[in-house]
Amino acid sequence: MPKGYITYQEFLKRFDGGGLRPVYLFQGPERFLIEEALEHVKNALIQADAADFNFNKFSAKDVEIGTVLDQAQTMPFLSKHRLIVLTNVHELAAATQKALIPYLDDPNITTCLILIAEKLDSRTKFAQTLKKKAEIVQFWKLFENEVPRWITTSAKQYGYSMSTPTAKELMEFVGNDLRQLDNELQKIIAYTSTPEITSQIVHQVVGDIRERDVFELVDAVGRGNTIAALKILNQLLIEGEQPLKILAMVIRQFRLLWKLKATLVEQKGVSARQLAGQIGVSPRNVEQLQKQIRRFSQVQLKNGMKRLYDVDRGLKSSGGSPKILLEDLIIDLCVPAS
């Protein structure tokens, strides 16, 4: 059986190929991609100087459905198309949904009506009519392994190039929230004077502040200074850092320490520059890591990595408080391994 919907990428391919439909349902949890798709449609259909006459965006929370239908039936002015967007469609009352069905059965072909919902009850006549009459586009959250490609594609759309390894570094610093990633990309673009976004630029613009905070956090853990470590953690949370992002940065730091420790055990007399090449960081960072690594035994690093991954699973699957999970983690990491 057909799945009844298309993905965002499939939508872009059809839309850019000229396959415009009069009614769409944009559905799913990834709000940033929905907003990106709306902007794409608007730019393609409506010239900027005609937008005031041919573009309307309404929320189902505070608009009379008759107003939406009147606008959808109105012919475009100085444009081939009108674009009408109705958000929060999942909050429409059953009677209001019913009032939309006649329009769905016979839409104005010069209007593109885009309905946006988190999720609709597929058992309703409204949802079943949409399945027959509209193009349903599903906006899922990206899997982690899909995010670097999204970053490089976004950079390209802004007119810049970025390698996949550099995109992965940016994701390690920022996390996988697309809105935050886009904000950081825009900061990088405002900073850089070259068409290529390099690893060095990412570290300079995004990484330095975060690395310093996390370095201080891990350093406090290495000293066994629970109070200092918890203070830094709570400051990061107060400043709006996402728990998963904080954890990802700590995991990255512990992973680097583990790699450095293993390399130093196997090889004696290795220069900072050689170490930098082997573990994938700058010589300056190696010097910082060498100072920090003295505070950790291999047993502490091994136990720490295990504990970090346990909390990673907990943050992604449990309904517990992320703050408490992270605080418990920090306390455990600060206690020396027996």
- Cα separation, 158 vs 152, in Å, equals 10
**What CATH code is carried by the domain that includes residue 279?**
1.20.272.10
Same domain, 19 and 81: yes
What confidence category does residue 26 fall into, taking pLDDT thresholds of 50, 70 and 90? very high
Residues 191 and 93 in one domain: no
Is 203 inside a domain boundary? Answer: no
- Does residue 45 have a pLDDT over 50? yes
- Give which of 147, 161, 182, 160 is closest to 39, Cα–Cα: 182
Residue 1 domain flag: no
Confidence band (pLDDT; 50, 70, 90) for 211?
low
Number of domains in the chain: 3
Reported as a single tens digit per residue, the pLDDT across 226-250 is 998 898 888 888 777 788 888 887 8
What 8-state DSSP symbol labels residue 199? H
| pTM (two decimals) | 0.63
Q: Are residues 83 and 183 in the same domain?
A: no
Q: Which DSSP symbol is given to 290? A: H
Q: Work out the angle at residue 43's Cα, subtended by the Cα atoms of residues 26 and 118, and round it to the nearest 5 degrees.
A: 15
Whether pLDDT at 318 is above 80? no
| C-alpha 289 chain-centroid distance | 29
Please answer whether residues 121 and 103 qualify as being in contact, where contact means their C-beta atoms are separated by less than 8 angstroms.
no
Of the chain, the end-to-end C-alpha distance in Å amounts to 58
Co-location of 221 and 314 in the same domain: yes
Lowest mean pLDDT among 6-15, 79-88, 183-192, 329-338: 329-338
pLDDT-derived band at 1, boundaries 50, 70, 90: very low
Distance CA 265, CA 252 (A): 20
Whether residues 134 and 157 fall in one domain? no
Residue 176 dihedral angles phi and psi, to the nearest 5°: -110, 15
CB-based contacts of 205: which residues, under 8 Å, 6+ apart? 184, 187, 188, 191, 192
Residue 202 has pLDDT above 80, yes or no: yes
Task: Report the candidate in 87, 133, 78 with the shortest Cα–Cα distance to residue 110.
Answer: 78
* pLDDT score at 2: 46
178-191 vs 164-174: helix axis angle to the nearest 10? Answer: 120
pLDDT, position 107: 96
Domain of 213 in residue numbering reads as 208-334
Query: Is the same domain home to 78 and 101?
Result: yes
Q: What is the mean pLDDT of residues 285-294?
A: 79
Q: Same domain for 126 and 182?
A: no
Residue at 202 is within a domain: no
Q: Tell me which of 122-126, 137-141, 206-210, 234-238 is least confident.
A: 206-210
pLDDT band at 97 (very low <50, low <70, confident <90, very high): very high
Question: Do residues 233 and 282 both lie within one domain?
Answer: yes
Which segment, 76-80, 82-86, 265-269, is predicted with the most confidence on average? 82-86
How far is C-alpha 229 from the geometric centre of its chain's CA atoms?
A: 27
Q: Are residues 117 and 152 in the same domain?
A: no
Positive/negative CA dihedral, 70, 73, 74, 80: positive
pLDDT of residue 56: 95
* Residues 223 and 193 both lie in one domain: no
Alpha carbon distance 222, 3 (integer Å): 52
| Mean pLDDT score of the chain | 87
Residue 223 pLDDT greater than 50, yes or no: yes
Q: Is the Cβ–Cβ distance between 134 and 170 less than 8 Å?
A: no
CA 103 to chain centre: 35
Decide if 38 is inside a domain: yes
